[in-house]
């Protein structure tokens, strides 16, 4: 549906083609689907109910009545479903192009993030499925726990390269590597 136009990721060129993989690794999703769902005032619960089909780790908390649905790749039927069920009660916008999605995984993931985000990421304080918008290096990002040692980071496209470079720098001491998901 995109005609002759090639897709460009904001981290194209920033990740070497053959990155290798240490035990601490950033997986960059090449073409994720990111939907923003923002409920009209008073419709927060009704809209939340329409998102029941989205897995806990894919549904990111942004603010009251506001979520990001983040999937590895486009799921047009889910997108249509959300638009149909929530479309009258919420502003649903496609942000797939506007966000970069990174998965930071490894035994030192938390130690690396401690240098970038102010959140308490101890599993007791931040369980699998929990997420939130927060300060990330100097910018705003959504950080969520998607596994015991795995976090998903949703960055604004324009800041993605900067934030990615900060992340990699903070990962130097743990030999952090990065590559696109294949």
Partner 1 sequence: MASLITCPHCGSRPKEEFSIRGEVRSRPEPAAPFETWYRYVYVRDNPKGRQKEYWHHVLGCRRWLVVERDTLTHEVYGVTDAAAYRASEVKEAAE
Partner 2 sequence: MTASRLSSGGLVDRSRPVSFTFDGKSLSGFAGDTLASALIAEDRLLVGRSFKYHRPRGVLTAGSSEPNALLTIGTGARSEPNTRATVQELYDGLVAKSQNRWPSLDFDIGAFNSLLSPFLGAGFYYKTFMWPKAFWEKVYEPFIRMAAGLGKLTMESDPDRYEKAWAHCDLLVVGGGAAGLSAALTAGRAGLRVILADEDFLLGGSLNASRAAVGGVKAPDFAANAVSELSSLANVTLMPRTTVFGWFDDMVFGAAEKVQKHVAEPSHDRPVERLWRIVAKHAILATGAIERPLVFGGNDKPGILTASAVSTYVNRFGVTPGSRVAVFTSGGTGYRTAHDLKAAGIEVAAIIDTRDAAADRAPDGVKVHYRGAVVDTMGGKRLTGIITERSGFEEKIGCDALAMSGGWSPVIHLACQRGAKPVWSAEKQVFLAPESDPRLALAGAAAGLETLGEAIADGAAKAKAVLSALGKTAATADVPEVEEQDFAGHQPVWYVGGARSKAFVDYQNDVHVKDLALAQRENYTSIELTKRYTTSGMATDQGKIANVNATGIVASMRGVDPAVVGTTTFRPFYTPVSLGVIAGTSRDEHGRPVRRSPLHGWAEKNGAVFVEAGLWYRSSYFPKGEEKTWREAAHREVMAVRKAAGLCDVSTLGKIEVFGPDAAEFLNRLYCNPMLKLPVGKARYGLMLREDAMVHDDGTVSRLAENHFFITTTTAMAGEVLSHMEFYHQAQWPELKVRFVSVSDQWAQMAIAGPKARAILSRVVDADLSDEGFPYLSARDVRLKGGLSARLFRISFSGELAYELSVPAAYGEAVADYIMECGAEHGITPYGLEALNILRIEKGFVTHAELNGTVTADDAGYGKMMGMQKPDFVGKQMATRFGLTAADRMQLVGLKPVDPKNEIRAGAHLLREGAEPSMANDQGLVTSNCISPVLGHPIALALLKSGRERMGETIIVFDRLRGDEFPAIVCPPVFIDPENERLKGEAQVSPQAKEEASR
Residues in contact with partner 1 by the rule CB under 8 A: 41, 62-64, 66, 118, 120, 132-135, 139-140
- Three-state SS for 1-39 is CCCCCCCCCCCCCCCCCCCCCCCCEEEECCCCEEEEEEE
**Which of 4, 64 has the CB closer to partner 1?**
64
Binding pattern to partner 2, positions 35-64, x when CB under 8 A? -x-xxxxx----------------------
Residue 115 binds partner 2, judged by CB under 8 A = yes
| CA torsion through residues 69, 181, 75, 97, sign | positive
Among partner 1, partner 2, none, the one that 64 touches (CB under a kind-dependent 5 to 8 A) is: partner 1
| Nearest to partner 1 of 3, 42 (CB atom) | 42
Query: What is the C-alpha to C-alpha distance for residues 165 and 155, in angstroms, rounded to an integer?
Result: 12
Judged by CB under 8 A, the residue of 25, 60, 85, 99 near partner 2 is: 99
Dist CA 35 CA 114 (whole Å): 27
Task: Choose among partner 2, partner 1, none what residue 63 binds, the Cβ cut-off being 5 to 8 Å by kind.
Answer: partner 1
Determine how many CB atoms are found less than 10 A away from the CB of residue 1. Answer: 4
Should residue 148 be labelled a site residue for partner 2 when binding is judged by CB under 8 A? Answer: no
Partner whose footprint covers residue 55, from partner 2, partner 1, none (CB < 5 to 8 Å by kind): none
118 is an interface residue for partner 2 by CB under 8 A: yes
Degrees to nearest 5, angle at CA 38 with 147 and 101? 35
| Distance from C-alpha of 66 to C-alpha of 161, rounded to nearest angstrom | 25
Closest approach of partner 1 to the CB of residue 142, in Å: 10
């Amino acid at each position: 549906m995109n005609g002759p136009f090639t897709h460009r990721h904001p981290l194209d060129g920033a990740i070497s083609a053959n990155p290798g993989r240490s035990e601490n690794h950033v997986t960059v999703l090449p073409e994720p689907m990111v939907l923003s769902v923002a409920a009209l005032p008073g419709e927060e619960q009704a809209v939340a109910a329409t998102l029941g089909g989205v897995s806990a780790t894919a549904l990111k908390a942004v603010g009251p009545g506001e979520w990001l649905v983040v999937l590895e790749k486009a799921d047009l039927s889910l997108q249509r479903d959300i638009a149909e069920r929530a479309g009258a009660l919420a502003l649903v916008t496609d942000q797939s192009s506007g966000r970069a999605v990174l998965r930071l995984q490894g035994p030192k993931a938390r130690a690396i993030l401690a240098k970038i985000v102010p959140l308490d990421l101890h599993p007791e304080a931040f369980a699998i499925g929990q997420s939130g918008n927060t300060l990330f290096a100097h910018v705003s990002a959504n950080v969520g726990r998607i596994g015991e040692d795995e976090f998903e980071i949703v960055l604004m496209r324009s800041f993605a390269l900067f934030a990615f470079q900060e992340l990699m720098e903070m990962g130097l001491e743990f030999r952090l590597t990065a590559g696109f998901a294949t």
